[in-house]
Structure 1
Amino acid sequence: MSALRAGISRGAPRCYRRARRYTSVTPSTRRQERYGCPSGLRHQCLARRLHFIENRCSDQLKQAAFDVYLVSVNGLLRWPGHTFRIFVLYRLCRWDIGTGTSVERGLRVTTKGGVRLGSGCNINRDVTLDGRGGLAIGDQVNISPEVAVLTAEHDPDSPCFKGRTRSVTIGSRSWLATRATILPGAVLGEGAVVGAGAIISGIVPPWSIVGHGPAREIRSRDPGAQAMLESYRRWLH
């Protein structure tokens, strides 16, 4: 049968053989139907796919490496030894630290760099200092246990709560009492005192004392803007 078909093909007119060759189903045609790429562009399509996979894998590897860095650094900051913790912050975290600054165990960092600590500061246990948006702390600042100073937040008007950053400045000779929370964009003047549990989001005048107040409604949100949340789960978290 194959010989008969070959004979018919050889005996057919040349134009018929040419038309049959271009209209027959070939592996390249099947590939085009399956992947949506013309046969002449299949290598370019494959290259684009490989480039996309490479970029995605590269981003995932970078994120995994950063997660390992954060877990390692925050683990080292729980070790005893003040000089050792200062060394970790200065060398591994790339912080700018003044002389005579004391850092207790349990300090939590969120990124490499972005934090400047003045001279003679006291950072107590389990404090969070977020440098993603830029954090500047003056001289002789006392930060009590479990204080959180944040420079990154989520946009409440974004459908997927997209992240954003704003810098925070804390003036010299200030005091942040236990469990005070400093939100992105806050500016504390020189000598300001923040009471225990207070939440600061604006400007605190110099040499003023601000305390905690009851929660109140600020404004309303658009219920139609809510979208599906992306998973926060990452490796080693």
Structure 2
Amino acid sequence: MLLFLDKIRHNAGFSKIISFFGYFYLAFWNHIFNKVPSYAFRNFVAKHIYGLKLGKSSNIHFGVTLLSPWRIKIGDNCNVQMHCLLDGRGNLIIHNNVDITLGVKIFTEQHNINSANYDTVKKEVVLHDNVVIGSYSLILPGVTVSEGAVIAAGSVVPKDIPEYVMAAGNPAIVKSDRNKEINYKLNFRRPFH
């Protein structure tokens, strides 16, 4: 049903009606459901009502904003911490054991500033296994963060990041290598988050 609505919303006759109900539908998650202090409730609603693909032992924390959640796939043992924004409009793929820390924003759609009509451009974002995205970082459309990479807090990532490195800054650049021996599995839950 959600994919059908997404396809017909570009039809001029349905556009305004579908947009209204789509935003209304999504507003329940972004303003009500995401604030319920229960992982089980939020995970259930995100998966079964909004079509988010959420792997085993993965968690959506309190206050996470979702855009087009039916186009977001999150693997196993992932952690999406408080006040993050996940944009699925251009497809967002998060592999296994990924830690998306406090306040991270991941966008898959942006405006083309050179377009006469200010059209939008959608580009898929992929986060591979064992990636860590530091607090308040910004991942821009079309970026792939390769396996084991760490993005330092407050970074802006406009281009791909290679595997097992630590990148930081605006724009993010590689600062150092990361240990390739990763043995942990994420399963981070705080009461009432």
TM normalised by structure 1 equals 0.65
CA distance in 1, matches of 2:106, 2:40: 23
Cα RMSD, aligned residues only:
1.7
Aligned equivalent of 2:163? 206
Retained in 2: the 8 A contact 1:73–1:92? no
5 Å-filtered alignment, 1:26-37, equals none
Structure 2 unaligned runs (5+)?
Answer: 1-10, 173-193
The C-alpha deviation readout for 1:42-76, integer Å capped at 9, x for no partner, is xxxxxxxxxxxxx8664322111111111112121
The structure with the larger Rg is 1
Match of 2:138 among 157, 177, 181: 181
What do residues 142-193 of structure 1 show as CA deviations (whole Å, max 9, x unaligned)?
A: 1111100110000011123211100000011110001100000000000000
- Which of 4, 17, 26 aligns to 1:70? It is 26
Describe the SS at the equivalent of 2:24: helix
Match of 1:168 in 2: 125
Report if the CA contact (8 A) 2:155-2:171 is conserved.
no
- Find the aligned partners of 1:192 and 1:178 in 2 and give their Cα distance: 15
- C-alpha separation in 1, matches of 2:169 and 2:16: 41
Distance (Å, rounded) in 1 between the aligned partners of 2:102 and 2:118: 29
One-letter code aligned to 1:212:
G
Tell me which of 149, 153, 168 is aligned to 1:192: 149
Q: Provide the C-alpha distance between the structure 2 equivalents of 1:78 and 1:108, rounded to a whole number of angstroms.
A: 10
The amino acid across from 2:45 in the alignment is: V
Contact 2:157–2:171 (Cα < 8 Å) also in 1: no
Aligned length: 161
The residue type paired with residue 68 of structure 1 is F
Alpha carbons of structure 1 residues 213 and 130: separation in structure 2 relative to 1, 3 Å: closer
Moved over 6 A (4+): none
Which one of the candidate residues 47, 69, 82 is aligned to 1:125? 82
Matching of residues 71-150 of structure 1 within 5 Å: 71-74=27-30, 75-150=32-107
- CA–CA distance in 1 between the matches of 2:144 and 2:99? 16
Q: Identity over the aligned pairs, expressed in percent?
A: 25
Q: Which moved more, 1:187-196 or 1:106-115?
A: 106-115
Q: Structure 2 length as normaliser, TM-score?
A: 0.79
Q: Please report how far the alpha carbon of residue 102 of structure 1 lies from its aligned counterpart in structure 2 after TM superposition.
A: 1.5
Give the secondary structure class of the aligned counterpart of 2:35.
coil
What's the secondary structure of 2:46's corresponding residue?
helix
**Which protein has greater RCO, CA pairs closer than 8 Å, 6+ apart?**
2
Greater helix share, structure number: 1
Task: Identify unmatched segments of 5+ residues in structure 1.
Answer: 1-54, 216-237
Letter in 1 for 2:16: Q
